[in-house]
Amino acid sequence: MKKSEWLLAIIIMAMGLMCMMVPANSFGGMSLVQFGRDAGKFCIYIMALIGIIIVIYFLIVKRGKR
């Protein structure tokens, strides 16, 4: 794998770890329903951000090969 592919893989792994750890530590006093709702929003926003970064990355790589 190229260095850029390793970087992308590390970013995706970090996103997964953040989705598991940050909501668990931040929302300790909430009920289960509130926790699920807020953790879901957090993960969706992070996944959307990473998705945008991945699309931009592949567009840049595709233009570089032309």
Question: What are the pLDDT digits (tens) for 5-49?
Answer: 887 888 778 777 777 766 555 556 667 677 677 777 877 888 888
What's residue 2's pLDDT? 79
Residue 60 confidence (pLDDT) above 80: yes
| Tokens encoding 44 | 């969706």
What is the spatial distance between Cα 60 and Cα 63, in angstroms, rounded to a whole number? 5
What is the spatial distance between Cα 43 and Cα 12, in angstroms, rounded to a whole number? 12
Domain boundaries, given as residue ranges, for the chain: 3-64
What is the spatial distance between Cα 45 and Cα 43, in angstroms, rounded to a whole number? 5
CB 34, CB 27: distance < 8 Å? yes
Cβ partners under 8 Å of residue 17, min gap 6: none
